[in-house]
Structure 1
Amino acid sequence: MNIYQADIQLAAARYLRWMPDSVVVTEDEITVAGWALSVWDGQDLQRFLINGVDFDQVEWPVTSTDLLVPFSEIPGASASRFRCRHRRTDGKNLFPDGFARLNVTGQFGEHRLSYRTAWYVGDPALEQAVPSPAQIERVIGSGNIQAFLLGGATIVKRFEQLLLERFGRPLRSFKSILDWGCGAGRLSRYLSLLSPAVTGIDIDADNIASCTKKLPGARFQQVDLMPPTSLQSEAFDLVIGLSVLTHLDEPVQDAWLEELRRITHPEALLLLSVQGLPQIALYGTPSQMQLEAHRKGFLDVGPNSQLQAVVDDTSYYRNVIHSPDYIMTRWSRWFDVLDIVEGMAGNQDLVLLRRRAEY
């Protein structure tokens, strides 16, 4: 057994646990299909939940020999797919707070940390206009609208629950929220439903124009590739940066961390995502590459082509892997690094930081 590859796969089973491939909502029902992994719980003990209650119908386990490629070391990987169905009858409201919560758990069901593996579906009646497939592709690597919406709703709701769990603070308690690297508004579209104080910034002028037109509940601004921005000092008390630092080389990373410190209020919180073992498992990244990233701390794998159509400098946008020790030490130049929560940001790891009052 390759111990490095086994560790990567175990991280996916532990921190991702499951992923939906398809979610379909109609007037009569919701159907969900995907895969679920477990190391210690037998498949007969797995539960499939919607808003904390068991789905009406579950087909499980379904053959999934394709999952032996990424998860060959995980028990039951060859039969890890499922299909679930839940009827909207007797006045059931599937979206009690604007979202339906989907989860796969062990036999005892959900608990206070179960939000970390839950997936959330926004109420279709509240959805705002969506960007074009080309605009979405520049954000998530494909033009899949469903994946764009499901990922956005999930990440925002997980972050909301994390802030409640760790600090007792709902999103509406923050006076000014920055969606750093907002792209096509994947997070801003849901953040703006939960807070009236959302600002999105990005280097992609086309996506900024689209967000401004389609998401009137937030404000948006294009920024240059390099800071400083025109944003006021100490303007924000919460910053969310999804998969931004995964695409910046080290000098650019440091410049933006310095800028984030400038524009955040003392004691502000920052939620910034990075690649971790769960995403590496999903992407099939060679374990040797992760080992190199661990030893070096910061590994620049090379250019990323997703923004070539909108950014003149084709060397700017990159693929980057950080090690946890590197983050804990280097990023502490600007912030207190409070935690790294595996798999919390969709499939990326979440770095939780707080801005110090003084250097």
Structure 2
Amino acid sequence: MNIYHADIQIAAARHLGWMPDSIVVTDDDITVSGWALSIWDDPAQLRFLINGADFDQVDRARASTDLLTPFAHIPHASTSRFFCRHLRAGRPELFADGFIRLNVTGPFGEHRLSYRTAWYLADPAREPAMPSPEQIERVIGAGNLQAFRLGGATIAKHVEQLLPERFDRPLASFESILDWGCGAGRLSRYLSQLSPAVTGIDIDADNVAACARTLPGARFVHIDLMPPTPFADGAFDLVIGLSVLTHLDEPVQDAWLEELRRITRPDALLLLSVQGLTQMAFYGTPPELNLEAHRRGILDVGVNNQLQAVLDDAEYYRNVMHSPDYIMSRWARWFDVLDILPATACMQDLVLLRRRAD
């Protein structure tokens, strides 16, 4: 057994656990297919839940030999696919709060931290106009509409529940929320359904303009590749940055952390995502790269081409890995680094920071 491969796979199984491949919503039913991993639970005892209730039909232990490549060390990986069906007739409205919650748990069901492994889907009937596949691809690397919707809704709902769980503060208590690196509005489109105080900013002018046209519940601002932004000192009390620092080399990273400190008020919270072991499992990242990132603290793997069509500087947008110790130490120059939560931003880890008083 290669201990490095095993550590990466175990992290994915423990902190993410499962993933839907397809969700189909009709007037008659909702069907979900995907895969679910377990380390200690008997796969036969896993529960497949929709809004906390068991699905009407569950077909489990389907063949999944394709998962032996990313999850060779996880028990039952070769038979971890499933299919579920939930009938809608005569049932309460599933999208009562605008979202459905999907989860796979052990035999005891959900608890107060189960939101971290749940996936959420917004009501298709209430969705604003969607960006083009090209605009989506610049954000998530592929023009996959379902992945875009599922990831955005899930992260928005994770944030909504993380704030009271960790900080005893509901989302509604924040007066000014920044979606730093909003892209095509993956997060803003759902976050703005939960709060009227969202501002999205990005270096992709085309995506910013599209968000401004289609998402009236938030405001959007195009920004330059480097600070400063047009915002006043202390403009925001909550910042969420999804997969932004994963694309900035160290000097650019430091400049933006300094700017985030300037535009946040004392005691503001920042939730910034980074690559972790779970994402490495899905992307097949060689453990040697993580070892090198662990040694150096920050590892610039090279240019990322997703934004080449919209940026003048072809070298700006990169693929970057961080070690947890580096984050805890270096980012403490600007903020109190409170925690790093594995796989809470879907596949990415979420760094929790607080702005210190001057």
TM-score by length of 1: 0.99
Structure 1 stretches lacking a partner, 5+ long: none
Q: Are residue 280 (structure 1) and residue 289 (structure 2) matched?
A: no
Query: Which stretch has the larger CA shift, 24-33 or 203-212?
Result: 24-33
Deviation of the 1:193 alpha carbon: 0.6
User: What is the SS of the residue equivalent to 1:184?
Assistant: coil
User: Deviation of residue 44 (structure 1)?
Assistant: 1.1
Q: How far has the Cα of 1:272 moved from its partner?
A: 0.3
After TM superposition, list the pairs within 5 Å mapping 1:278-357 onto structure 2: 278-357=278-357
Partner of 1:158: 158
Superposed displacement of residue 139, structure 1 = 0.2
* Map of 2:103 onto structure 1: 103
Unaligned runs of 5+ in 2: none
One-letter amino acid of the counterpart of residue 324, structure 1: P
Structure 1 position 168, deviation (Å)? 2.1
**Counterpart-to-counterpart distance in 1, 2:70 and 2:312:** 36
The runs of 4+ residues in structure 1 deviating greater than 2 Å are none
Q: Which residue of 2 aligns with 1:79?
A: 79
Higher deviation after alignment, 312-321 or 121-130: 121-130
| TM-score, structure 2 normalization | 0.99
Give the structure 1 partner of residue 206 of structure 2. Answer: 206
Question: Does residue 1:30 correspond to 2:45, yes or no?
Answer: no
Task: Tell me which residue corresponds to 2:40.
Answer: 40
1:197 is matched with 197
**1:254 partner amino acid:** D
Tell me the number of residue pairs that the alignment of Structure 1 and Structure 2 aligns.
358
**Identical pairs, percent:** 75
Partner deviation per Cα, 1:96-117 (whole Å, 9 max, x = no partner)? 2111000000000000000000
User: Which letter does structure 1 place at the counterpart of 2:212?
Assistant: T
Q: Does 2:236 align with 1:261? A: no
> CA–CA distance in 2 between the matches of 1:91 and 1:102?
16
CA–CA distance in 1 between the matches of 2:324 and 2:93? 41
SS of 1:135's equivalent in the other structure is helix
Q: Which amino acid aligns with 1:29?
A: D
CA distance in 2, matches of 1:331, 1:147: 30
- What's the Cα RMSD here? 0.6
Q: Please report how far the alpha carbon of residue 49 of structure 1 lies from its aligned counterpart in structure 2 after TM superposition.
A: 0.3
- C-alpha distance in 2, partners of 1:311/1:172? 35
User: 2-side partners of 1:139 and 1:173: how far apart?
Assistant: 29
| Deviation readout 1:193-235 (Å, 9 max, x if unpaired) | 1111110000000000000000011000000000011111100
**Secondary structure class of the residue paired with 1:92:** coil
What is the Cα deviation at residue 259 of structure 1?
0.2
**Matched residues in 2 for 1:172 and 1:192: separation?**
11
Secondary structure, aligned partner of 2:230: coil
SS in 2 for 1:313: coil
Cα offset, 1:322, TM superposition: 0.3
Amino acid at match of 1:217: G
Using the TM superposition, give the Cα deviation of residue 92 of structure 1 relative to its aligned residue in structure 2, in angstroms.
Answer: 2.1
CA distance in structure 2 between the partners assigned to 1:98 and 1:112 by the alignment = 20
Indicate the residue corresponding to 1:94 in structure 2.
94
Task: Report whether the alignment pairs 1:70 with 2:70.
Answer: yes
Whichever residue aligns with residue 265 of structure 1, its letter is R
Q: Which residue is 1:136 aligned to? A: 136
Corresponding letter in the other structure for 1:173: S
Q: How does 1:163-202 map to 2 (within 5 A)?
A: 163-202=163-202
Specify the code of the residue in structure 2 equivalent to 1:137. E
Q: Report the Cα distance in structure 2 between the residues aligned to 1:356 and 1:126, rounded to whole angstroms.
A: 39
Q: Give 1:91 deviation, angstroms.
A: 3.6
TM alignment of 1:116-131, pairs within 5 A: 116-131=116-131
Amino acid at match of 1:155: I
